[in-house]
Amino acid sequence: MLWRFTYHNHAVEFRTENGVLAYDQLLRLADPAKLTMEHVKDFKLAGAATEFEPPPSTEMERGSIDYRPIFQAAKKGGIEHAFVEQEQFDMPAIDALKIDAD
């Protein structure tokens, strides 16, 4: 049985330390046969955000990130699943889930 570690990142991994993006360093050092990455989240980037207070999340394609080219590249790269994360809701969660799934 092949065990894989699935990493769930947060905003801190996208800080630069000594000119190196922490997320890039993690990917560079990890064995891709043993590591998968988990994180698809859209954000409302209009407000101020900090390392400790990220911008509010929203339904896919209702935020500031254009995921279409990301998902196209993921499909070409053999990505089979995406896990959507959303903490804030402007509507009932079940309605947001439908938007995220579509």
User: For the whole model, what pTM was predicted?
Assistant: 0.71
33-76 pLDDT tens trace:
888 888 899 988 876 666 677 788 999 999 999 999 999 999 99
The predicted structure's pLDDT at residue 73: 93
CA pair distance 42, 59, nearest whole angstrom: 6
Return the closest-CA partner of residue 41 out of 86, 91, 92. 86
CB contact set of 46 (below 8 Å; sequence gap of 6+): 55, 64
Return the closest-CA partner of residue 13 out of 46, 38, 43, 34. 38
